[in-house]
Chains A and B, each alone.
Chain A
Amino acid sequence: MIELKDITKRFADGQRALTVLDSLSLHVDEGEFIAITGESGAGKTTLLNILGTLLAADEGQYFIRGEKVEVSGETGAERLCHLRNKEIGFVYQDHRLLPQFTVLQNILLPTLATKKTSTEEEQKRASSLLEFMGILPLMDSPVTQLSGGEQTRVAICRALINQPAILLADEPTGQLDAANTQTIATLFQQVNTQFHTTIIMATHSAEMAKVAQKTYLLKEGKLRIEEPLARRSQLKN
């Protein structure tokens, strides 16, 4: 599904260049749920932005379903917009819900990227997603009145409204308490299994990493696969 080959990304740090990703490679199968952990500043968000086509790598190649992803060029940009809208969903730590819109409007927002009006079908889908997330009664509420957990769920709904194949989540539970983290972790697991969505999640949370099928550690610009925590604890015992 996703193939990263020798991805390198550098940022300017004053006079010198700081290499955040260093010849990083990754392969993710369709329907796989992986977690990426690492220290703050390790480059998790950068990696997700490259995966989300929001950022171009300095070196290396990126393939989705075997098709090379080019971030530069005008026609490329249009194609990327389409890709982001139809194939990729994003969930951020700060949710990035737009305060001027209601819950439903926020969820339907991605549907307007390619056409002027959302359809009834999309509205029904939004309702289903809200029901799936257990927040249907909040449909017409302003997002500013929601709790952190509710906002995360709305953000997941919004990411899923166009039925993307890939869901990228950047610290989705970073601002939540343990109980909410557990709930969201379960929801992600359900999304993965029920919608067969490929999920790549950057997280600090062990609870969240636990629900992933694979966990990678991002360190010094490279990914290293880690044993799932459950197996590790079994081996330890």
Chain B
Amino acid sequence: MKNQEMKSLIAQSRKHYRRFYRLVTIAVILMMAVLTGSLLLGDSVRGTLVQRVSERLGKTETIITSGTGFMNETLLQHPSMKHSQGYLLMDGFVSVGEMLLPVYVWGIDTDSLAADEVMVNEPLYAKLSTLDSQLSTFVLHLPSLNLIPSGSLFVSKSHATQMRVHVAGVKSLEDGGNLLLKNEQTLPLNVFINRRQLAEKMELEGKINLILSDDFIEEEQLAACWTPEHSGIHLTDSILTYDGVFIPQDIVEKLSTLNSHPSTIYLSYFVNNLKADADTVPYSFVTAINEWQGEPLEGQDMILSDYAAERLHVREGDSIRMDYFITKQLKNLDTREKTLRVKQIVPLAAFREDSLLMTDFPGLTRVENCTDWDSDLPIDMNRVQKEDEDYWHIYRQTPKAVVSYEAVRADWSNAFGSATALRFSSSDSSSHSSLLTSFLSPSDADVRMYHPRAQGLKGANGGVDFASLFLSLGFFIILSAILLMKNPLVEMFTLRQDEIQLYRQLGFRDKAIRNGLFREAFSVMLLASPWGVVAGLLYSCLTLWLLGNVWSGATHTDGFALHIQPLTLIIGIVVGLVICAFTLWMVVRNALKPCTSHSSSPKPHTSLVTPLISLLITIVLIAANFLYFHDMVLFIVCGLLWILTGGLFLRVEVNRQATTSIRSILNRTQLMWLSVRSSLKQHLLAYWTLSLGVFTVFAVGLNRPDFSQAVQATGGYQFYVDSRVPIQYDLNNPAVRKKLSLNALPDSTRFLCFLRHTQDEASCLNLNQVSTPTVLGVDLKEMEPFGLITDANPNPNPNPNPNSQPSTLNSKLSTIYIDEEALMWSLMKSVGDTLFYQNERGDEVPVVIAGTYPTGIFHGNAIMSSEDFRRLWPKESGVEVLLMKSSCPDEAAELLAIAMNEYGLHIQTVEERIKMFFEVTETYLIIFLTLGGLGLLLGIFSLMVIVRKNLAARTATIRQYRAMGFSERLIAQLLFRENLLVPFYAVCVGAVGSAISISANVGGAGLNTLLLAFIVLVAIGLILYYGIQYMIQQTINKQQTI
């Protein structure tokens, strides 16, 4: 036969069987739509995240930061920095009424912003407009950024300063309004202010802490243009000083390895008392040095001023006790005392000659009177005598004594440095300067650079795979579409059995018949596939819109843009057609199989033993789980067992009813059972499909952990507090509470304080790939209530976390603990894996994941011991995260918010915080429930096709019933009962199974969701009821008209 003729025959067959092919076309379009649409969603989310990288970075190729310190703006004058901008960037917050909005404050070089004028970016403007549509001014709170880090001991101004600003304009996205250095898809809230005015306000004139360069700057280029002077390290007349007062210990140690190392190390301190017998000199500056006038100062040596010797009535060789405060964590003070020996008494003028013995501590030194001293130290002004004031008026911070550096170095050094000045022996300052420049690198002064674009793109491209996610969520639609495609094909080929036999009689080989039928049906699928792609585009557009609006809880964005990759479309079409071809091939193959004899069916199962055993096991497991285990997975297993038991019972009961009716008097119920048994295989297939469909959709959709009730999720605390400004105090300390006006807090109020090293957001709120989550530092023992178990725990939990591993994997390694969900989904790592963090020295430090803790309020954060934390990031000494519990929680929270309003505290209940994370899961579950429900409806529709096929096969039966005098109503009733029995049973068993599976979290879904699920179930029942009834009526009416 000519090809053209064959084509014509195929076309005619297609036309003849168009009522079947219409359904096949719909099914192909649906399947292709979900398949291609899901792949397009993946592309679109990835494309949008990549786009966000460009939006948030602008043209920036290189970022240079200065850690807790600052850089001089003169660094920008270097030719390598031609396309670079200097910024003063700080975390601030905006207060509008009672609302606090955390913002990034960017000090930028601009002439367009006058004093107290700011520009805001579009997201912030939108947010401010919702709070107050007429808003043109607001109060901007800025953290106290000083040259001397707020974590060091002699600084008092550690909270925020504020300024009322006027919104001069809105900085658009194109204009770089959405600048953000973090790898997140959420839009930042940015405030832009004139850098010079900001610097002036913060007393940071000429300083910057961030450089963004449009050029790709290499490490060598930075090293070539950077000098220590740019980081505030000054070398004048062989004297090295630092803007931050304390010269970092690394630099001190590094310089000591030089041949021409510093000859004298200075470290000034404020001591409480110098005592000798009954005489005391209170509150004095004392400087530690390693040599005095060329002679090494060692051991307990002290050089005393004659002024002090006179007041203390001591001579050379006498002992003097010196006590001073040392800081433990969070400026918790401890007093240490040292006994020193007076090696030499010198005139006070000798101390005054060396200016390096005197250090400028703002708050202490820049005051007129001792009584004006302003520091964190609890200075008892009653002890300050007239002679102390007199000394201050004349000599200010001139030390009263000089002590051995070695004797006090350990006590007086802090995270920021171990010296206040260095003196080189040679007077050749220029040679020292050039040596210093070549010897020190930018990283020694905390100046680091990185190239954010590559990191951002890596994070965006490796982020949450929405293609896989939506393929999983839409799995039921795809499955139902395949069923919808298969059923009409099976029905059509069953009808065409005579045609197939005829072909055989005419001498066609089976292969030729198979190919012919395949070509005919596949041509329909091919024609439908482009429409499927179009539908896929619509599906992805609709889903993207929903993700940006109704389902924005899953993504925390304002939406995604559609990105179409031709390759994705091709993959979608090819995969779709492969599924179509496979389904079709199986159907055609079965259609050509010789019919099996009816009498050869196996002996029916009528024994109740197996289903009863299954039921017993299910009940025992459910009871045991309720009483002892309370395990969610076990409840799901119980639900599945229930469905299995239901299936076993159905099979046995149908066979039993049908078998026992053989000899008994016939009744209509037996008619139903016998009819069901005659197509038991099909009915069982319908049972498994519907019951498992209902189970999966509802069990997954409603299984929402009730975190708020889980003690381990909250540790028993009531509030989670996020401080925009690091808190340098221990709020459990009564003295601190008094100092911060928190003494009205109930005594029962307890705080758990966390240090924070901010890195990537690893919670479910971030769609980008995460490599190093933010680290919270705390005493690990405090984490026991949160289910974090370490081997150091002397009282192990009776139900230890199975994922926990000893933290002594390697005693030299730092270890962290990450919550289970973040570890699995955001990091895709497991316990024992290593992450690499950059410590403050700029080194990549391996940190081992030692264990997990149940997901709760710390979701997305890594927990580290305070010791490890301080070792890696010693300068990050302030508390940024607090937990609070109190007997009067609301009053305590209110008082905290009022007393510490300058810290930009974001106080939320633990329930609110958990709900915030849970909103993501909840939204995904709603999406699953929606798409699963659609899939289920489609599955029911394809079940209707099976029912229709069954009814079509019962034409002769219907005619016979009519001929025998059965009324139409009775025929409809009989057919209705036999066709509805199994689907209804399946829906009921599936619903009970899903109810069992959610027993562990029955409160998690909430009443509304449960009610919605119930309505959906009723809707499924009604659709089945009326759908089957309608089809039966149609069939009967059709018979009447024949």
Contacts and interface: CB of A to CB of B under 8 A. Distances in A.
Q: Please say whether chains A and B are actual partners in one complex.
A: yes
Interface of A: 52, 54, 77-78, 81-86, 88, 90, 92, 94, 96, 98-102, 104-105, 108-114, 116-120, 123, 140, 142, 144-145, 158, 162
Nearest to B965: A85
B46 interface: no
Contacts of A85: 964-966
B970 interface: yes
Contact of B964 (A78, A104, A109): A109
Main SS at interface, chain B:
helix
Closest 3 CB pairs of A and B: A85-B965, A100-B678, A84-B965
Contacts of B671: 109, 112
Contact of B667 (A81, A116, A120, A162): A116
A23 B675 CA distance: 42
20 contacts: A77-B967, A78-B967, A83-B965, A84-B962, A85-B964, A86-B965, A92-B963, A98-B957, A104-B662, A104-B666, A109-B666, A110-B965, A112-B671, A113-B965, A117-B665, A117-B666, A117-B668, A118-B667, A140-B662, A142-B599
Contact of B665 (A52, A96, A118): A118
Contact of A108 (B666, B669, B956, B960): B666
A54 B963 contact: yes
A102 B968 contact: no
B511 interface: no
Contacts of B675: 100
Contacts of A142: 598-599
A123 B965 contact: no
B967 A81 contact: yes
A84 B964 contact: yes
A100 B599 CA distance: 11
Given A77-B968, A100-B678, A118 B666 contact: yes
Interface size class of B (residues with CB under 8 A): 20 to 34
A119 B665 CA distance: 7
Contacts of B677: 100
A96 B207 CA distance: 99
Interface in B486-531: none
Contacts of B661: 105
B674 interface: yes
Contact of A105 (B599, B674, B959, B961): B674
Contacts of B959: 96
Contact of A144 (B599, B668, B963): B599
A94 B967 CA distance: 22
Contacts of B666: 104-105, 108-109, 111-112, 117-118
Given A81-B965, A109-B964, A144 B598 contact: yes
B663 interface: yes
B960 A96 contact: yes
Given A84-B962, A113-B964, A100 B665 contact: no
B674 A101 contact: yes
With most chain B CB atoms within 10 A of its CB, the pick from A77, A78, A98 is: A98
With most chain A CB atoms within 10 A of its CB, the pick from B661, B959, B964 is: B964
A52 B960 CA distance: 12
B667 A99 contact: no
With most chain A CB atoms within 10 A of its CB, the pick from B663, B669, B960 is: B960
B797 to A, nearest CB: 61
Given A78-B967, A84-B964, A101-B674, 13 more contacts: A81-B966, A84-B965, A96-B963, A99-B678, A104-B662, A109-B960, A110-B964, A112-B668, A113-B970, A114-B965, A118-B666, A120-B665, A162-B965
B836 to A, nearest CB: 70
A150 B671 CA distance: 22
Contacts of A119: 665
A140 B964 contact: no
A82 B598 contact: no
Nearest to B956: A96
With most chain B CB atoms within 10 A of its CB, the pick from A52, A83, A90 is: A90
B682 to A, nearest CB: 13
Contacts of B963: 52, 54, 84, 90, 92, 96
Nearest to A109: B964
Contacts of B678: 99-100
A114 B965 CA distance: 8
B960 A98 contact: yes
A104 B665 CA distance: 10
B801 to A, nearest CB: 58
A142 B599 CA distance: 8
A213 B965 CA distance: 28
Interface in B657-706: 661-663, 665-671, 674-675, 677-678
A4 B599 CA distance: 45
Contacts of B668: 112, 116-117
Contacts of A117: 665-668
A112 B667 contact: yes
Nearest to B957: A98
A26 B960 CA distance: 25
Contacts of B962: 54, 84
Nearest to B964: A110
Contacts of A98: 957, 960
Interface string B934-972: 000000000000000000000011011111111110100
A205 B109 CA distance: 111
Interface string B578-600: 00000000000000000000110
B47 to A, nearest CB: 58
Contacts of A54: 962-963
Nearest to B678: A100
Contacts of A118: 665-667
A105 B665 CA distance: 9
A107 to B, nearest CB: 9
A167 B500 CA distance: 38
A22 to B, nearest CB: 21
Contacts of A105: 661-662, 666, 670, 674
With most chain B CB atoms within 10 A of its CB, the pick from A81, A92, A111 is: A81
B835 to A, nearest CB: 66
Contacts of B967: 77-78, 81, 113
A156 B899 CA distance: 100
A58 to B, nearest CB: 14
A86 B671 CA distance: 20
A75 to B, nearest CB: 12
Contacts of B970: 113
Contacts of A100: 674-675, 677-678
Contacts of A110: 964-965
Contacts of B966: 81, 85, 112-113
A85 B964 CA distance: 5
Contacts of A120: 665
With most chain B CB atoms within 10 A of its CB, the pick from A54, A88, A100 is: A100
A83 B963 CA distance: 10
